Structure 1
Amino acid sequence: MALCLQNFISIVTAFCMGITLIIVNTSAEFHCPNYCDCNELYARVNCMNRTLEELLRELPKSAEKLKVENGSMSVLTTGSFSTLVHLSSLWIQNSGLQDIQKGAFEGPTDLLYVYLRNNLLETVRADMFEGLTAVKYLYLDRNYISAIPAGAFTPLKKLYSLYIRYNRLTIVDANVFSGLANLRWLYLSYNSISNISAQAFKGLTSIRKISLMNNSLTSVPKEPLALLGTLNYLNLGDNPIAVLNKTSFPLELKSLSSLYVNDMGLKDLNVDAFKVFPRLQTLSLEENLLETISPLNFLHTLQVLKLKKNPWLCDCQLIWLRTWIIQHQIKQEVMCQAPAGLQNQYLGNIDLKYLTCPPYEGSNTNMTSTATAITATTQIMKTTEQRSSELPRITSPSASKPRPATFKPPMTQTPKVCKDPIVQSLQVISKSPSTLSLKWEAQQERPRLGLDVLFFSKDTKDASGGKSHIGEQAAVLTGLSPGTSYKICVDLTTEAKKFCANSVTPQCVVASTLKSLPSDQQEKKAVSHASTGTAGTAVAAIFSVIIFAITVLALIFAWKKKVWKIAFRQFRNEAQN
């Protein structure tokens, strides 16, 4: 055993020495340029206040992440990154970049992230992005882009997310995004877009999310949106769209689940505008000029309704909304601005008797309006009940009938006597010094919510807490005292018992735990313990040797500044060459 252990340690030592030699040879390969901060382990280089020409001469060829800020590089010339074949992320931010020559990104084949934020780009062209065949995320935020020609992003076949926020776009022309069949997210927020061509979004066959917030749109761009049948999320917030009616949105947006039309100065809202969204889950109408809103009972999938910061008039027309807020237990957001007596109060906290409509002289408007509101509220409640009946149903092996997932047993003042289930044939089927195993049969109505196993000690030794492994027709009581007599009672908890009086006495049986295991079982247990002890000793010895080897490797790893990844990178580069 000792000889084997020595041989194993020799092998581990030789391995460690070999790794050390590799580390010594590779640690000198990653040179960090001046005025840069580098991380060799992650092959990351962060540079400040450098010119492109100087920096490219000094960059290590194995760099995978390059970040340049506050640099001086007005133009990215052809072949600028041709030697950085392992580059995966590129940041050029706040560096005065004005143009990108054709072929500037040729070389890196695994470049996934390109950040060109806070520069001076005024336009983009297709030849700028040649070579970016693998890029998935492109950030062009905070430039001066005022025009994008058709097909400008065609080379970006794998692009997943495109950010063109905080620029100077006023028009989105036709076929601007052609070729981006894999694009999922498109951000055009914080521009000055007032017109979007009917064919602007042509080719976006996989789009899921579009943000057009904070632009100059005066109406919903219905025609271009009609091309986006896969769209899930649409943000039109902070555009001067003052009216929404039943023809505002195209019928093709069947997949839309989130709609944001907040902060638009919206005064006139016809809720029929939202009937084209059968899957809508989130609707935001925050920060508009809405005083009232009609019932939304047709939005059967709605889960989130954002309504805060509107000048709400809390009268009979909002009874339905108060009911909806209470039924869904949502966060209070609707604060009343009128009438004066309800100002600055949350709608959900107001008693129904105060939500009245003012009478109009010479008419029955008050009665008519209130009747209409009550009718709408009744419809909301019916819809809620219908939706509850359509929820997924829970069934257990012991349930006679399925029930809705949100079912709550009704509460009554005087419980009635119900037909309870009966436990029969309760018996002890096996025992040990610390356990008793039971089985029984449940007759008549079967249990719905499960079983309660009650057991008490004859000698006042409480066995509570020993209940475990409870099944519908069996139970194993654990943690019991050896040689002790117990009285065990089994009762059934049913759905009916929640609101009915229980009239059935639990079935009980008296049983005693064994004082000790039989002799043959003790011998088997002893043999098992002996075998386990021998095996455990051998495993412990092997485990100790492994821990020692891992410790040696960890010391070498720390001593050489964590350059395992560099060693692997050199091996990979040599294999490719």
Structure 2
Amino acid sequence: LTYLSISHNKISSLGPACFQNLGNLCWLHLQHNELREVHSQWFIGQNKLEELYLGGNKIETVLPDTFECLIELKLLDISNNDIVCLQEETFRGLQNIDRVVLGGANFGMLSPQKLAAINPSSLRRLVLIQSGITEIGSATFEVFQGLEYLYLDHNMLTHIPSKWHSDTHVRGEYTLTYLSISHNKISSLDPACFQNLGNLRWLHLQHNELREVHSQWFIGQNKLEELYLGGNKIETVLPDTFECLIELKLLDISNNDIVCLQEETFRGLQNIDRVVL
């Protein structure tokens, strides 16, 4: 048996070593049950498990070393639970993890300490959708140099500060190519707030509270290919706003309050092939 799904039941407890005889299990679905905690004893013998789904339960606490024996785990989904904080040792032992889904938590201010449980060396995709994030502390993602996809949608962010991702004085090549911060309440961004993300290809800022767009936001974004600004309250786009986005192919500024576009608005966009107004 490699695939086991027991989702959408009313499971509130599991016996120790209940999957011990299933040593070839690769995918285990336990989402949408009544679990309130997770125990390491459940996973005895699961040294081949690659994907574990625990989302949509009532989990409040994840004890340290809970997943330590899951040495091959690549994806862990603990979204839509009642988790407020993760202890530093929560994900210890997960050397191969590359996707963590934490949506549905209640983080408040997101800080490096609240993500300290995650092993940054192998992580490629981090999902923090609908996680009650109200602000992002300085250098919150600084250690995640290998992260490629970051989802911060459906939170309560109102502002993106300049050093939210990493300190501008820290040297390092960040591999983030996809960033989505849509469906928040963002009304302002600091200049150069994406400056350290020089490999960014896709940037989603749609469905926020932006009223204008500034060229300073896009400093260092000479690889950006798709920019989504639709569904804001943008009234004005100043000339040369997108001038530094030399690789931009798609620009979406639909469903805003724009009445008129000046002649120089799209100057510098030599590779643009799709504009959504």
TM bucket (normalised to shorter chain) is 0.7 to 0.9
**Kept after mapping to 1: 8 A contact 2:65/2:92:** no
Q: Secondary structure at the match of 2:62?
A: helix
Equivalent residue runs for 1:160-199 within 5 Å: 160-199=177-216
Provide the identity percentage: 20
- In the alignment, the residues of structure 2 paired with residue 226 and residue 172 of structure 1 have an alpha-carbon distance, to the nearest angstrom, of 18
- In the alignment, the residues of structure 1 paired with residue 192 and residue 178 of structure 2 have an alpha-carbon distance, to the nearest angstrom, of 17
**Kept after mapping to 2: 8 A contact 1:71/1:96:** no
Question: In the superposition, relative to structure 1, how do residues 213 and 221 fare at CA in structure 2: closer, same or farther (>3 Å)?
Answer: farther
Which residue of structure 2 lines up, in the alignment, with residue 58 of structure 1?
66
Which residue of structure 1 lines up, in the alignment, with residue 51 of structure 2?
44
Q: Secondary structure at the match of 1:90?
A: strand
Q: CA RMSD of the aligned region, Å?
A: 3.1
Equivalent residue runs for 1:368-383 within 5 Å: none
Q: Secondary structure at the match of 1:239?
A: coil
Q: Give the alignment partner of residue 141 of structure 1, picking from 141, 153, 165.
A: 153
Deviation per residue, 1:215-240 (Å, 9 max, x gap)? 01102243431121111110000010
Equivalent residue runs for 1:363-402 within 5 Å: none
- In the alignment, the residues of structure 1 paired with residue 200 and residue 100 of structure 2 have an alpha-carbon distance, to the nearest angstrom, of 20
Structure whose alpha-carbon radius of gyration is higher = 1
- In the alignment, the residues of structure 2 paired with residue 181 and residue 88 of structure 1 have an alpha-carbon distance, to the nearest angstrom, of 21
- In the alignment, the residues of structure 1 paired with residue 89 and residue 24 of structure 2 have an alpha-carbon distance, to the nearest angstrom, of 26
Q: Secondary structure at the match of 2:116?
A: coil
- Determine if the alignment matches structure 1 residue 200 to structure 2 residue 217: yes
**Kept after mapping to 2: 8 A contact 1:226/1:253:** yes
- In the alignment, the residues of structure 2 paired with residue 227 and residue 137 of structure 1 have an alpha-carbon distance, to the nearest angstrom, of 23
Which residue of structure 2 lines up, in the alignment, with residue 27 of structure 1?
23
Q: Secondary structure at the match of 1:227?
A: coil
AA matched with 2:74: E
Query: Normalising to structure 2: TM-score of the pair?
Result: 0.75
AA matched with 1:69: S
**Kept after mapping to 2: 8 A contact 1:87/1:108:** no
Which residue of structure 1 lines up, in the alignment, with residue 99 of structure 2?
89
- Determine if the alignment matches structure 1 residue 253 to structure 2 residue 269: yes
Which residue of structure 2 lines up, in the alignment, with residue 73 of structure 1?
83
Question: In the superposition, relative to structure 1, how do residues 121 and 106 fare at CA in structure 2: closer, same or farther (>3 Å)?
Answer: same
**Kept after mapping to 2: 8 A contact 1:193/1:215:** yes
Deviation per residue, 1:58-109 (Å, 9 max, x gap)? 3243222100122222234445434322111100111223234336155342
Measured after TM superposition, the shift of residue 110 of structure 1 is 1.4
Point out where structure 2 has 5 or more consecutive residues left out of the alignment.
Answer: 1-19, 167-171
**Kept after mapping to 1: 8 A contact 2:49/2:70:** no
- In the alignment, the residues of structure 1 paired with residue 173 and residue 99 of structure 2 have an alpha-carbon distance, to the nearest angstrom, of 15
**Kept after mapping to 2: 8 A contact 1:216/1:239:** yes
Compare relative contact order (CA 8 Å, sep 6+) and give the higher one, 1 or 2. 2
Question: In the superposition, relative to structure 1, how do residues 251 and 69 fare at CA in structure 2: closer, same or farther (>3 Å)?
Answer: closer
- Determine if the alignment matches structure 1 residue 114 to structure 2 residue 126: yes
Point out where structure 1 has 5 or more consecutive residues left out of the alignment.
Answer: 1-23, 262-577
Deviation per residue, 1:228-253 (Å, 9 max, x gap)? 11111100000101123434x14211
Deviation per residue, 1:244-287 (Å, 9 max, x gap)? 3434x1421111110000xxxxxxxxxxxxxxxxxxxxxxxxxx
**Kept after mapping to 2: 8 A contact 1:82/1:108:** no
AA matched with 2:60: T
Q: Give the alignment partner of residue 116 of structure 2, picking from 104, 113, 125.
A: 104
- In the alignment, the residues of structure 1 paired with residue 184 and residue 21 of structure 2 have an alpha-carbon distance, to the nearest angstrom, of 48
Equivalent residue runs for 1:211-250 within 5 Å: 211-247=228-264, 249-250=265-266
Question: In the superposition, relative to structure 1, how do residues 129 and 76 fare at CA in structure 2: closer, same or farther (>3 Å)?
Answer: farther
